[in-house]
Structure 1
Amino acid sequence: MTKTALITGASRGLGAALALALAPTHHIIAVAKTTGALEELDDQIKALGGAATLAPMDITNEAAMQTLCRGIYDRWGRLDLWVHAAIHAAPLAPAGMIDAKDMAKSVNANMTATATLITYMAPLLGTDGAALFFDDTTSGAPFYGSYGATKAAQIALARSWQAETVKTGPRVHIATPHPMPTATRARFHPGEDRAALTDPKIEADRILAEFNG
């Protein structure tokens, strides 16, 4: 039976790199808001001999996520792996000047959507599946208030789920990626020497080796 990997935030950066790394062994279910980027990813997956199902959706749309999970169940009956790479990166700002709309978007995407998705994914993953999350060492750093606080909350949710499922499954793994030349990082660090950062493909291979080790 073909293994399945759902990647939320699959259109670029680490999510796309992990989709390509997993494509030889998994059918990739790629979720992102950008249709064009998903289509480019699909072409790359096909070039590797793999197959993908594209789901141009917003993870904050609860009805869309319900439809997606029902579709996964109807087609495959289960899910082998969930990779949660989706994140909302609000502009950096001093804690006393955070825009209310930016904070609301951060809470909705990084906290609320993650909590909702865990409730949807747990039955699909069952006892034998696995979930992969990504910590960020910038949480608590100056000017990272809205992003850092909501990212830390997301990882707190993941750690609770991890502790709760040690004996029952699914297996929950939390990786800490090295800095990569992604679009998100470029917004946070304009003008940075991107050549000094780790290529997402290299980082994807490292994380999967750690995950499977």
Structure 2
Amino acid sequence: MTASTRPVALITGASRGIGRAIALRLAPTHDLILVARDLERLQRLTEECAVIGERVRSIALDVTDFAAVADALRDVQVDVLINNAGVAHLKPFLETTPEEWHHQVDVNVHALYHVTRALLPGMMSRGVGHVCIIGSTAGRNTFVGGTCYVGTKHFVMGFAESLMLEVRDAGVGVSVITPGSVATDLFPEGTNTTWMLEPENVADAVYFAVTTPQHMLVHRLEVRPLSPKRPRPGA
């Protein structure tokens, strides 16, 4: 097999929702490394992406197992990192268990550090790369039941801008995509999602951000549903 000249993109939380949509959007133009815990879903997605792409491989990995992250990504070289993995337990503060609190912080904050820390040195040494993080409009507003989730997304915004300033002179870009409500399983069963964005809309925003000319950076890109009173056509 000849060496590929296509950029390599690694996507966390790739097996479902926004991560899955991003994988399918990038497959025609990028070689992919898909990371998620759900091995069965990951294998199905790998097969789907291989049909429309070229090189696709998967890594079954829990991004909250930080030793495993370091081990699995030690020799991995990528051009694009999509930090997509994220969780939410949306409930009042006094109803949030310690396990739910730490789970959100481990996935939304600590894993962001560990995955980026593993892959960024290679980008820096080659003088080219792009780190793209899936944030949320919750990173600049608040709501009841979001004490932990909103806090983690505010962290993402500060982390992304600080990192951008640190690495841009080395040729590495940092983007944060901030969607409004997206129709995924993040919401409880029975929630009206007909007006929300679709995962593919966020994937289009990611594609735009990571395929701009090398001298250009889209650092923050907010995408949101037009109106909660207007269902999507065909929804």
TM-score, length of structure 1 as denominator length: 0.87
Alpha-carbon distance between aligned partners in 1 of 2:26 and 2:117, rounded to the nearest angstrom = 24
Q: 1:165 aligns with which of 153, 161, 167?
A: 167
Q: Displacement of 1:155 after TM fit?
A: 3.0
- Is 1:97 aligned to residue 95 of structure 2? yes
Q: Which runs of 5+ in 2 are unaligned?
A: 213-235
Structure 2 equivalent of residue 174 of structure 1: 176
Do the aligned residues in 2 keep the contact of 1:89 with 1:147 (CA within 8 Å)?
yes
Q: 2:148 aligns with which of 146, 149, 155?
A: 146
Q: Displacement of 1:93 after TM fit?
A: 1.8
- The 3 A distance-change label for structure 1 pair 35 and 210 is same
Q: What amino acid maps onto 1:155 in structure 2? A: M
Structure 1 equivalent of residue 222 of structure 2: none
Do the aligned residues in 2 keep the contact of 1:42 with 1:51 (CA within 8 Å)?
no
Matches within 5 A, 1:68-83: 68-72=72-76, 78-83=77-82
Q: 1:9 aligns with which of 9, 13, 32?
A: 13
Do the aligned residues in 2 keep the contact of 1:158 with 1:174 (CA within 8 Å)?
yes
Residue aligned with 1:55, SS: strand
Q: Displacement of 1:211 after TM fit?
A: 4.0
Q: Deviations over 1:31-78 (max 9, x none)?
A: 011111111111211221433111110011122212222242xxxxx3
Q: Displacement of 1:106 after TM fit?
A: 1.5
Structure 2 equivalent of residue 36 of structure 1: 40
Q: Give the paired residue count.
A: 204
Residue aligned with 1:157, SS: helix
Q: 1:109 aligns with which of 100, 107, 113?
A: 107
CA RMSD of aligned residues (A): 1.8
Q: Displacement of 1:162 after TM fit?
A: 1.1
Q: What amino acid maps onto 1:110 in structure 2? A: N
Alpha-carbon distance between aligned partners in 2 of 1:113 and 1:132, rounded to the nearest angstrom = 14
Q: Which runs of 5+ in 1 are unaligned?
A: 73-77
Do the aligned residues in 1 keep the contact of 2:137 with 2:180 (CA within 8 Å)?
no
Q: Displacement of 1:203 after TM fit?
A: 2.8
The runs of at least 4 aligned residues of structure 1 exceeding 4 Å deviation read none
- Is 1:135 aligned to residue 135 of structure 2? yes
Identity among equivalent positions (%) equals 27
Structure 1 equivalent of residue 30 of structure 2: 26
- The 3 A distance-change label for structure 1 pair 209 and 88 is same
Alpha-carbon distance between aligned partners in 1 of 2:10 and 2:210, rounded to the nearest angstrom = 16
Residue aligned with 1:176, SS: strand
Residue aligned with 1:172, SS: strand
Alpha-carbon distance between aligned partners in 1 of 2:200 and 2:45, rounded to the nearest angstrom = 13
Q: Displacement of 1:151 after TM fit?
A: 2.5
Q: What amino acid maps onto 2:52 in structure 1? A: L
